[in-house]
Structure 1
Amino acid sequence: MAALREGLGRARLVTLLGPGGAGKTRLSQETAEAAADAWPDGVWLAELAPVDDPDTVPEAVLTALGARETVLRGAGAEELRATDRTAADPLVRLTEHCAPRRMLLLLDNCEHVVGAAAALTDHLLTHCPQLAVLATSREPLGVPGEFVRPVEPLPDPMALRLLAERGAAARAGFRTDADEATAAACAEICRRLDGLPLAIELAAARLRMLNPRQIADRLDDRFRLLTNGSRTVLPRQQTLRAVVDWSWDLLDAAERAVLRRLSVFAGGCSLAAAEEVCALPAGPGGPAVDSLDVAALLGSLVDKSLVVAAPGEDGEMRYRLLETVGEYAVERLKEAGERDAAERHHLVHFRELARTTGPTMRGSGQRAAIAVIQREYENLRTAHRHAVAARDEHEALCLVLSLSWYWMLRDLRSDARQWAEAAASLGPDPFARPGVRAPSLPEQAIDRPPPWDDDQLAEARRGAALIQVASVDDAISQWSDAEGQKRLRIVADAYRPGQPQTCRMPGAFWMYAVMLTGDMDRTREALDETVRASRAHGYEWELASALQLRANFLAGHSGQADLARADADESLEIFTRHDDDWGRAEALASRGEANERTGHFPEALDDYAAAVDYARKIGARSQVALLRARYAGPLAELGRLPEAEAVLREVVEEDRPPSPESVAIARMHLAFVLGAQGRPAEAREQVDLISAHLTFGDVAVFDGFVYGVLSWLDNLEGGHASALGNALMALGCSREPLSAMIAPQMTSAHLTAIARALAGLAAEGATGPGAYADAARLLGLQAALLPPRHVPTTVERRNLAEAEEAARARLDEAAYTRAYEQGGSLTLDEATALAEAYRPTPPPT
């Protein structure tokens, strides 16, 4: 209100602009009352809503000035009543009255006679030098010197306060913060009603019969719900529909056509999108609208407060409908019979936006492309729903393939899976039968828009299925059973390594199927062939991606670390040349792991830190979390345990945590760091939190780590029986092919834990003295199974030293050496059976 009073001090015409129900009339009257002392000849209200003939506007204002009941503040009503109303033209008499006076005139509800109101205001301001006008309207008057003051919807706190006040009047004792559920429902009501005071007051009136949650759940049918307002207000303000009907009736046919077509957008739109979607030929429901006319019509709707215009993050204006106006426009679109056509235009526009923007997310345009897709994501969702509802397989698949890399970068696996499944449901399963080989296709399906030929469509179907393979939340669990492995083999066999489409997205996701089979030799062959083929086809970005993936695979095997570093360096050079932030982050991470596995910890820290910076630039939150967790590893190896703990706690305690998997990995690292600092109870808390947020017991690879941590903590605390059980569980998990491929050193680590547990049980008298020799045998096997040139971590070295010391406690050097050498020739099955014999028998139930 203070800003409005200041505006009246600077300009002689101030127009309060806003949609119906925004509270313009109330604000104008309260402002006029507060400023009345500045107008010695009074503040006068002229209500123009009842005026239906523009020619009678001057007479209506004159009548208002002469009627005592309309005066807000001031004197002179009797003088006006004495005026001979038949003596002259109303405009002349009105001018003669206002010219010598210092007064404020309120012109309320000008929108339906805006031309006449503008002409009258311009005339009076020209001939009455001490007169000021405060107008309310849904569009500007367009008079020179006009100061337009938008009346924005109420911000959340004020909207909630209004609902609380009106709700308490409707139902004694009502409070918006009565409990958590009530608070959430009230916030939803205010948000979905766009903070419009009239709509909120109508909702509050319904509290006599409904609770807030019931009201919120019924807002999809708001025009039936929000009726029966105050009987003392104008009829067009007594129901929500009447408010919007009033605005609709003031539009011409072309404005109505654009307004109703705008309802197909979600989250607003750009001018270019509006021009393409809202331009339709003439039909039963309305006139033709040329795309060149859309901008002017859109501007008119903005002026009439039916469309909200605001600059987007890129600086371009975006246009949106308030939710209430949008619901109304949807009804009108259906009535006009234009819904299918408008939705089709919307689908084609946003399919093309996705199809042309998706490829630019690889390279220097990455950040800009991410911003475009993020800004239009709700529209893209809506376009996909239109495609699926219309059972248009080509369009749905095109959207899925175009957005696959965006989902990868933003870690939106659930979206990827759901969209891909919906698109796949429109056609046959491309991997239903084994033995079907895909032909080599240098051209990608999305290189040109739908409709596609048979080969492109078949490849698009395979692409959608591959996206599903790569985007399952618990991917390892999903594909670890017999049925899952059968499916993976069919997918893996559908392509030959080195085919063009397996080098490029989304066909490159085929590599996930190969990896998830756990066949190390086949995975290495596929990676090598993908690198070779990318070079041969001249796919530079794809070559960098293949090199990075191979580096990541090799980095987990200490004997291959030098090759991993070479691949990572070449990948980093290419990604840097292409200015690709995601690629640089991944290449640096692979090099960091290779450095970490070979004991080059300072270099690994530098690599991980640089990778984090690049991942942050593109907003890849899960990637950042994983990289920071990995950064803590070299810190711990360098003895900087408090620093490592601080980094990991920041990751796990974020207000908006990234993916559950990245947090779980950070918690795993944190458990090791806490245990290494002599705080096993706190370490167990982290393991418990992992179990609470992941499907513990279903993912063999991850379960191997979890059981391994538990057995380590058990041994630290002297719980050797429990340590034995957990270590045997971990050993079983580590024998799965995929586990062995990802973490080949873990089998040795689990054997060390078992050896420590056996020696501990023997020392306690829980087993015979033979357990010492068996512990030595298991230590001999763990040494034989260690990957070549493996560099043990601090924890591994400590565990091994403690296990050796415990095993030697009752064995002389010759006995220990003899048992140790015997262990080197054991099989894993024999070692497992040996350890199982010491597992305590559970008591009868």
Structure 2
Amino acid sequence: MRFGILGPLDIRSRDGLPMDPGGPRPRALLTLLLLDAGRAVSGERLIHGLYGDEPPTGASNALQSQVSRLRKRLGLEIEAVPTGYRLAVSPEDVDLHHFERLSREGRRALGSGDHPGAAALLGEALGLWRGPALADLPNALGLVARLDELRLAAVQDRVEADLALGGGPGLVPELRELIAGHPLSERLHAQLMRALHASGRPAEALTAYEDARRVLADELGADPSAELSALHLELLRGQEPTRQRGVPAQLTRFVGRADELTRIGALLSGARLVTLTGPGGAGKTRLAIEAARALPDVCYVELAPLADGAQVTYAILTALGVRDGFRAAGGDTTERLLSALHGRELLLVLDNCEHMIDEAARVAGLLLGACPGVRVLATSREGLGITGEVLWAVPPLAAEPAARLFADRATAVRPDLECPADGDGARLVGEICAALDGLPLAIELAAARLRTLTLDDLAARLGDRFRLLSRGDRTKAPRHRTLHAVVEWSWELLDDDERELARRLTVFSKGATSEAVQAVCGIPYPEDLLASLAEKSFLDVADGRYGMLRTIHAFCARQLSEAGEEDRLRDAHATYFLDLAERAEPRLRGREQLPWLARLAAEQGNLDAALRHLTRADPHGGLRMMAALSWFWRLRGLYGERTALARDLLDAVGSEPPEGLGEEYVLCVINTIAGDGADPAEPDRLARADGLLAALEGPLRLPHLVVLWSVAGGPARAMEDRVRSQVGDHPWGVALLDLGQGFQELFAGRADASEAAFTRALAGFRTTGDRWGMANCLDPLGMFADWRGDRELALRRLDEGLTHVRELAAPEETADLLHQRGTVLLRAGDFEAAAAHYTRSAALARTTGVPDKVATARRGLGDVARLSGDTARAREHYEAALEACAANWFSLGQSVRILVGLGRTALAESRPREAADWFGQARGLASGTGELAEVAEALAAVAAGPEDAARLLGAAHGLRGTLIAGDPDVVPVERSARERLSPEAYDKAFGQGRELRSAAVREAVSER
């Protein structure tokens, strides 16, 4: 059978008899299948072609019925394949594909100088057209435009052949008619000028040039191209110009890229072949034009319109201005090109080489080898692959130039629009540019939509970027006009294996290693395919990871959905990353923790995506994954961000722990209370987690559970007899027990026993190599040294701890140690350094989303301001710290200390009654011995007499186990009491206070 779609659908049997497929819908369906004759067409693409953007319910079933009817009515072999349907006919039986083949052969003949053969082939190709293409296919405007472009190119090639054969006079009417329909085609204007000149009408030829110049100026605001100007000069002088000069004029300002231009200039000065690579829309062409513009001798060759490799040489000759009147020996185009460039010093810009990379590389290699004065600057989505080639990947626009480009193009379409330079508007512009990967084409298309959309509307619709950014420059080739067309053009240049891998890679949210690709995508030894996709600018490669720009990811994800593989790949993805998380978990507590932390951090996006999938598809697997990742989240300060997901997972699992997953269930419960927002259900979760934890038999498989529970539940829940059996005898667990014991002794006011426990824990963690454990021991050990007045030792210990937590990139622990170091510096009198430490601590805590630590740092800044004499500033910090406190056990202690700070501020301002009121509020909240010690010291400052002051200081000593040497708030109070009492009287009162038990101290404090 023979099929025609270059006009109304026409079907002919082998005998030449017409056949009727039925009504409009079967005709459209058959047209869609014929467009890809012999190849699979996805169901989604067929449905879109039949129904447009809003298909009816049951469209898939309707499609199946339509295919069945076509089979029966015409006897066609339409195969159902996994991705859709395939019409089993040869492309040569379809006029469109026959036209494309004849056009390619005609261009090849034209390029080789076989003008009679070219005219015959192109005439036969154009004779296949019977009217507007795809007349029976709705929703195909973009495709029809592409076919019309191919038809016009074939007409122009045929005219070129006819001109070479002396057919000038007869071509004039046809060319005038073509120009009426395509007034901006400089090639048609040039052909008309040559046809008029060949007809003996030189004056009309010059008039035709003036007509072309006026149209280009009126419609585009541009001058004629260098080639058209050169032809005009030829006609004026009666001599042939030898080449085209310069690069195309641009209609818009060039924004940013100054560093890139400098870099390209440096590369061109040291290499003869430089290729700019990058994905479609990255701005390779514009960058090449701007880089070449500053050079004195440039020939620009646009390869995008070419449909056959044989045209490359001819295109360069045309760009050089070498016409048919110029002849070298034998008339061979390659020899003509070499002769034209012999002895020349120039830069040849070969733009858009990717679709005919082999021929572009062959010609470039030939020229570079034979013409020493020639340099080549190429643009392509992959390198030419020539020895000596320097590749330079055009990077996305950085944030600032991207925003400037957006603003420039936005004001072009709306001169009254003022793009915001700061505030929420500027932030929104930055987010839009980042979401569009910094691709200049995408940014320009987005800015153009501000003609009818607001910034908010534009940002909200970026999820469907291909539909949104579908209105481009009408003068550009269709494949360079819209964002979808640009990416689709790159997609079409991939082979089937590359496409298969590219669409499967979209299951990874943040890139992947080759190991992950092999395991998840089911493609053995994918390294070569990955390298090929990277070379073709479909993937980025950094540190052994392969990633996609979001725009390419979105396009390929659509292909994955059409292929029907998404669910299977999501399952495989989740299985792989669950295994990775469980392999990493025990290694995060020893000497391997740094490389494994880095590996998990690199995979964070994939781990989150896998956990979300498991929450929906396999909640028990989700429990395992959340449990395995909980310690990683804790170390990296990420745990609060996963609270909502933990609650969703708990809802999916139910109210009872699954068999064998008790520890995992408890960890999930703990993660539900790790956020920074108050939740009415939190007390119930705390009680439930406590009961579940008590029921767990030791030793635990996941001993970090104990740490996370102590952080969430508070010190009162941290150390019980059951914990010893749950932790077991592993060195890490033993060190953890000593760490917990150190805090218990500290909270009980037994400083010496606490320091001994922390010292044992530090030795244990050093044995295991766990930096987190070492840092968490060095923090209190530095504090004890500070209490004794050995500030040098305190700073050394804290600095060692900071080294460990910075290696871990643990922001919360870093914030803690910075705060502790600031406190040591404060007591040493270095207020400026202390304030800097507190400020950095607050910034880290803020980025981690831990308001308690922000409050702690703001309290430290309040202390600095107060002790520096700036009581107004101190009050601001204290009040801000109170606002930052969350409703948990840790914030309770911070609130006590903040209230004490407010009281000391009032006292510094000579308002003792107000100070006593603040101290009274602090006393009411105080529960731990450390907090009571600070309250006692504060009350000593407003005591009625020196004996009361000495007794309260003794109580503070008894509660904490010591007074802090050199404490700037306590030293003046102690000195005053000693000055007013005899040594015996002071020691007696102090001793009485020190001997009081906690309950008695509380009562004594309450009396004040």
Q: TM-score range by the shorter chain?
A: 0.7 to 0.9
Q: Is the 8 A contact 1:599 1:791 kept in 2?
A: no
> Does the residue aligned with 2:377 lie in a helix, a strand or coil?
strand
Which letter does structure 2 place at the counterpart of 1:356? R
TM-score when scaled to structure 1? 0.77
Aligned length: 737
Which of 20, 39, 57 in structure 1 is aligned with 2:311?
57
Partner residue, 2:538 = 306
Partner residue, 2:798 = 608
Q: Is the 8 A contact 1:747 1:782 kept in 2?
A: no
Partner residue, 2:466 = 223
Partner residue, 1:585 = 775
Counterpart mapping for 1:280-291 below 5 A: 290-291=523-524
- Structure 1's 732 and 568: CA in aligned 2 closer, same or farther, altered over 3 A? same
Counterpart mapping for 1:136-151 below 5 A: 136-151=379-394
> Does the residue aligned with 1:255 lie in a helix, a strand or coil?
helix
Q: Is the 8 A contact 1:466 1:509 kept in 2?
A: no
> Does the residue aligned with 1:291 lie in a helix, a strand or coil?
coil
Counterpart mapping for 1:352-391 below 5 A: 352-390=579-617
Structure 2 distance, partners of 1:124, 1:639, is 74
Q: Are 1:202 and 2:445 counterparts?
A: yes
Q: Is the 8 A contact 2:670 2:709 kept in 1?
A: no
Partner residue, 1:620 = 810
Q: Are 1:159 and 2:402 counterparts?
A: yes
Q: Is the 8 A contact 1:118 1:141 kept in 2?
A: yes
Q: Is the 8 A contact 2:930 2:959 kept in 1?
A: no
State which drifts further: 234-243 or 378-387.
378-387
- Structure 1's 497 and 584: CA in aligned 2 closer, same or farther, altered over 3 A? farther
- Structure 1's 597 and 47: CA in aligned 2 closer, same or farther, altered over 3 A? closer
> Does the residue aligned with 2:546 lie in a helix, a strand or coil?
strand
State which drifts further: 399-408 or 743-752.
743-752
Structure 1 distance, partners of 2:707, 2:840, is 32
Counterpart mapping for 1:71-82 below 5 A: 77=322, 80-82=323-325
- Structure 1's 830 and 249: CA in aligned 2 closer, same or farther, altered over 3 A? closer
TM superposition shift of 1:151? 2.6
- Structure 1's 700 and 5: CA in aligned 2 closer, same or farther, altered over 3 A? closer
Which of 840, 846, 857 in structure 2 is aligned with 1:666?
857
TM superposition shift of 1:539? 0.6
Q: Is the 8 A contact 1:556 1:593 kept in 2?
A: no
Which letter does structure 2 place at the counterpart of 1:65? L
> Does the residue aligned with 2:281 lie in a helix, a strand or coil?
coil
- Structure 1's 252 and 628: CA in aligned 2 closer, same or farther, altered over 3 A? closer
TM superposition shift of 1:27? 3.2
TM superposition shift of 1:365? 1.5
Partner residue, 2:496 = 253
Q: Are 1:14 and 2:274 counterparts?
A: yes
Which of 676, 681, 690 in structure 2 is aligned with 1:473?
676
Counterpart mapping for 1:127-526 below 5 A: 127-128=370-371, 130-279=373-522, 290-292=523-525, 294-310=526-542, 312=543, 317-390=544-617, 392-430=618-656, 454-469=658-673, 471-473=674-676, 487-496=685-694, 499-501=697-699, 504-509=702-707, 512=710, 516=714, 518=716, 525-526=720-721
TM superposition shift of 1:499? 4.3
Structure 2 distance, partners of 1:826, 1:190, is 62
Which letter does structure 2 place at the counterpart of 1:291? P
Structure 2: tracts of 5 or more residues without a match:
1-260
Structure 2 distance, partners of 1:48, 1:552, is 73
Structure 1 distance, partners of 2:663, 2:579, is 19
> Does the residue aligned with 2:646 lie in a helix, a strand or coil?
helix
> Does the residue aligned with 2:378 lie in a helix, a strand or coil?
strand
Structure 2 distance, partners of 1:141, 1:665, is 59
Which letter does structure 1 place at the counterpart of 2:923? L
Structure 2 distance, partners of 1:3, 1:503, is 55
Structure 1 distance, partners of 2:277, 2:960, is 75
Partner residue, 1:706 = 898
State which drifts further: 378-387 or 623-632.
623-632
Higher relative contact order (CA 8 A, sep 6+): 1
Structure 2 distance, partners of 1:511, 1:193, is 42
> Does the residue aligned with 1:494 lie in a helix, a strand or coil?
helix
Q: Is the 8 A contact 1:485 1:517 kept in 2?
A: no
Q: Is the 8 A contact 2:762 2:774 kept in 1?
A: yes
Which of 708, 711, 719 in structure 1 is aligned with 2:911?
719
Structure 1: tracts of 5 or more residues without a match:
38-42, 280-289, 432-453, 760-771, 836-845
Q: Is the 8 A contact 2:663 2:696 kept in 1?
A: no
TM superposition shift of 1:258? 1.0
State which drifts further: 612-621 or 799-808.
799-808
Structure 2 distance, partners of 1:660, 1:508, is 23
Partner residue, 1:787 = 958
TM superposition shift of 1:581? 1.8
Q: Alpha-carbon deviations, 1:33-83, whole Å to 9, x = none?
A: 43343xxxxx444433233234x325xx325624xxx45xxxx54xx2314
- Structure 1's 503 and 238: CA in aligned 2 closer, same or farther, altered over 3 A? closer
Structure 1 distance, partners of 2:939, 2:343, is 102
Partner residue, 1:541 = 732
Q: Is the 8 A contact 1:777 1:820 kept in 2?
A: no
Q: Are 1:575 and 2:765 counterparts?
A: yes
Q: Is the 8 A contact 1:557 1:787 kept in 2?
A: no
> Does the residue aligned with 1:194 lie in a helix, a strand or coil?
coil
Which letter does structure 2 place at the counterpart of 1:572? L
Which letter does structure 2 place at the counterpart of 1:272? E
Q: Alpha-carbon deviations, 1:415-453, whole Å to 9, x = none?
A: 24334323322212348xxxxxxxxxxxxxxxxxxxxxx
Structure 2 distance, partners of 1:503, 1:149, is 50
Which letter does structure 1 place at the counterpart of 2:731? E
Which letter does structure 2 place at the counterpart of 1:57? Q
- Structure 1's 648 and 785: CA in aligned 2 closer, same or farther, altered over 3 A? closer
Q: Of the two, which has the highest radius of gyration?
A: 2
Partner residue, 1:438 = none
Partner residue, 2:873 = 682
> Does the residue aligned with 2:541 lie in a helix, a strand or coil?
strand
- Structure 1's 179 and 680: CA in aligned 2 closer, same or farther, altered over 3 A? closer
Q: Are 1:4 and 2:4 counterparts?
A: no
Structure 1 distance, partners of 2:448, 2:784, is 67
Which letter does structure 1 place at the counterpart of 2:651? S
Structure 2 distance, partners of 1:731, 1:487, is 29
Structure 2 distance, partners of 1:320, 1:183, is 28
Identity %: 31
- Structure 1's 207 and 645: CA in aligned 2 closer, same or farther, altered over 3 A? closer
Q: Is the 8 A contact 2:802 2:814 kept in 1?
A: yes
Q: Alpha-carbon deviations, 1:533-575, whole Å to 9, x = none?
A: 65xx4310111112112112212333x2222222122111121
Structure 2 distance, partners of 1:654, 1:366, is 22
- Structure 1's 524 and 17: CA in aligned 2 closer, same or farther, altered over 3 A? closer
Q: Is the 8 A contact 2:501 2:521 kept in 1?
A: yes
Q: Is the 8 A contact 2:811 2:844 kept in 1?
A: no
> Does the residue aligned with 1:421 lie in a helix, a strand or coil?
helix
> Does the residue aligned with 2:445 lie in a helix, a strand or coil?
helix
TM superposition shift of 1:513? 8.0
Q: Is the 8 A contact 1:564 1:594 kept in 2?
A: no
TM superposition shift of 1:501? 4.4
- Structure 1's 152 and 796: CA in aligned 2 closer, same or farther, altered over 3 A? closer
- Structure 1's 127 and 423: CA in aligned 2 closer, same or farther, altered over 3 A? same
Which letter does structure 2 place at the counterpart of 1:156? A
> Does the residue aligned with 1:611 lie in a helix, a strand or coil?
helix
